[in-house]
Structure 1
C-alpha cells in the first residue's frame, strides 16, 4: 500500500490509463498546465488545454467518443457543468440508445464539488442528483484515495458516459492505495465501511467520514451502526443497502446535497418500497439545505450534516431522546 492524496490518486489513474490505451485523451481548463508530466509522456495532442468554454469542451468530447476515442474532460467546478448540459445529457447520454447500441460513447466528465474551500455559491453546488436523473449517464462520487483511483480507471474503461465528481474537501486528504499492477474498482458496487446491527448509515463522498465519526460515538453508547459508502450513485447498489437494512431495520441517509429530489429521497423511497416490512422506525434524511452555498466558512459549515446530528437522529430512532425525526432533517 502507498499513502497518497486524492489528487495524486487521480493523477496516477490518468497516467496509467493513458499508458494502457492510446485512445485515452485528456482535455480541459488548464489540464496541460497542471499536469506537465502527462504532456511530456503522452504529447500535446493527447493532453490539451482548452478555452473556458464548457459547452465546447463537452461537445468536442462527445464527437471524440463517437469517433472511437476515449476522452476525459476536466470541467473544474460542478456548477459549470450546467454549461455542458446539452452535450452531456442530450447527446452523450442518449446517442448510444438512439443508435440501437451500434455506437459506444466512452466519456468521463470530471468536476469538483462540495464545501470546504469557501468558494461561494457559483463554484460550490452539489449537482450529482441532477445527473443521476439523466438517462444514459453514470455518476461516481468516491470518498477515499483508493476509490478515486480505482473508480476513475473503471470509468475511463466504461463504454458509457460517466460524470465523475471530486468532493473538494477530500482533494488533499491522504489514504492508502493498493500497490497492485491494475487497481480497478467496479462501478455500481457500494462498500461497507463499518459493520453494525442496530442502524444503517448510508452516504457518499466526504459525509462518509461524518457517518464513521458518528458510528464511533454511537459505539461508545452501545449502539452498533453499519456505514455504507455508495461510491457510485448510478448505477445504485440497491442490493447492499437493502441487505443492511434488512439486518438493522433502521436507515439514516446523510448527504451534503439538498434533500429535495436528491439521493437521500431516492434511498428513502427504496427503503419504503422494497423493505417496508422490516422498518422499525421512519427513515431519516440528514441533508444540506435548499439554498446556495455560502462564502463564509461559518455559514458554510453550519449548513452541513454533522456527526452529532447523526448521533442524535439515531438515538431518536431508538427512542432514547425525545426528538422528532422530521426536525432533524436539514433539508
Structure 2
C-alpha cells in the first residue's frame, strides 16, 4: 500500500513518541481532531498526556515549547499554517534561536510549518516562510521534497539540539506517494542530485523539485536537453559544495523557488555561485520565483503566480540560448 507525504509526517511523529519519552506534540486542534491536515490523527488516543491541544496563540505555543525544551523536553509544535508563525516570530528568533548562544543551554524544538500554496488558499494560507527563519543564526530550516525525506528528516530534526523549522509543503500532502519510507537517509545539510544532466543546473527545494523535474523531462523531449536538478533538502545549512559541483558540470544555473522573489533562498544560491564559482559559469545565473504580490485566491491566478513547468522551461530556454 502506498504511503503519502502526510502519512510520513504522521508516522515519524508516532515513532518519535514511541522512541523518546521526552517528545511531546503541541498545537491547535491536534488532539481528538487530529490537526488541520490530520497529521496527528489518532495519536492522542495512545498518548493522551503527550499530544496536547494548544490555545489559539502561536506566541504562547512557542513560548511554552521553549521553556519545556530548556527543561529537557523535545517538543514538536504544529502551526496550522506557516503564515501564522509570524505571530510567534519573537519567540522563535529572539528566544529559541539565540538561547544556546546566550546561555549554553540548547532549545531542541521542532516547529512544523505547513508551507506553500494550494489552489484557493489565498494570501494568508499559502506563504513560504523558510527565508525569514533561515536569516537568523541558531535555526535549522529543512524543506523535504520526498516521502522518504519527510519521514527521515523529521526524525533527524527531533534528535537535533538546535531549533528546527520543518517546512512541509501542503501541495505534497496527499498528492506525493511512495511505496515506503526507504531512502538514502542523507543528513540534514546535504543536498541531493534528483536528476542528472549536463546542459544546465536547476537548484531548488520542496514542491518545486517536482516541477523542475517535469520541466526537465519536457526539455529533453523537446530538444534533447539534459537538465540537472539539485534538491537542496535543507536551506539552512545550505550545501554549497553540491551546488558548485553541479554548476561545474553544466556551466549554467537556474535558482528556482516558490517563495517571493525579493532576497531569499534563490538569491543566496546565486550569490554564492557568483562569489565562489564565477569562473564555472558559461552564462549569467538566473532566478525564478513566484510573483512579487500576495498569493491570489483564484486557482487560475494562483497557477500564474507560482513557477510552473512551462515557465521553468521558458527560463531554461533563455539560459541555454545565451
TM class, shorter-chain normalised?
over 0.9
Match of 1:186 in 2: 187
Separation in structure 2 between the aligned mates of residue 231 and residue 210 of structure 1, nearest angstrom: 15
> Contact 1:39/1:47 (CA < 8 Å) preserved in 2?
yes
Match of 1:133 in 2: 135
Match of 1:17 in 2: 16
Match of 2:37 in 1: none
Match of 1:209 in 2: 210
Question: Which structure 2 residue ranges, 5 or more long, are not aligned?
Answer: 35-39
Match of 1:171 in 2: 173
Name the CA shift for 1:285/1:36 in 2 (closer, same or farther; >3 Å): closer
* Deviation readout 1:228-264 (Å, 9 max, x if unpaired): 1111010101111111011111000111111101111
Separation in structure 2 between the aligned mates of residue 36 and residue 118 of structure 1, nearest angstrom: 24
Separation in structure 2 between the aligned mates of residue 111 and residue 105 of structure 1, nearest angstrom: 18
Match of 2:277 in 1: 275
Match of 1:4 in 2: 3
| 2:241 aligned with 1:239 | yes
| 2:45 aligned with 1:40 | yes
Q: CA deviation at 1:12?
A: 0.4
| Matched position secondary structure for 1:256 | coil
Separation in structure 2 between the aligned mates of residue 49 and residue 41 of structure 1, nearest angstrom: 15
Query: How many residues align structurally?
Result: 315
Name the CA shift for 1:203/1:14 in 2 (closer, same or farther; >3 Å): same
* Deviation readout 1:42-78 (Å, 9 max, x if unpaired): 2x22100111110000000000110000000001111
| 2:202 aligned with 1:198 | no
> Contact 1:202/1:227 (CA < 8 Å) preserved in 2?
yes
Separation in structure 2 between the aligned mates of residue 36 and residue 12 of structure 1, nearest angstrom: 10
Match of 1:218 in 2: 219
Separation in structure 2 between the aligned mates of residue 79 and residue 317 of structure 1, nearest angstrom: 33
Match of 1:306 in 2: 308
Which stretch of the first structure deviates more once superposed, 115-124 or 274-283? Answer: 115-124
> Contact 2:74/2:108 (CA < 8 Å) preserved in 1?
yes
Q: CA deviation at 1:290?
A: 1.6
> Contact 2:8/2:181 (CA < 8 Å) preserved in 1?
no
| Matched position secondary structure for 1:240 | helix
Separation in structure 1 between the aligned mates of residue 41 and residue 213 of structure 2, nearest angstrom: 37
Question: Which structure 1 residue ranges, 5 or more long, are not aligned?
Answer: 321-331
Q: CA deviation at 1:174?
A: 3.2
> Contact 1:96/1:105 (CA < 8 Å) preserved in 2?
yes
Name the CA shift for 1:144/1:179 in 2 (closer, same or farther; >3 Å): closer
5 Å matches for 1:40-59? 40-42=45-47, 44-59=48-63
After TM superposition, the score normalised by the length of structure 2 is 0.94
> Contact 1:154/1:185 (CA < 8 Å) preserved in 2?
no
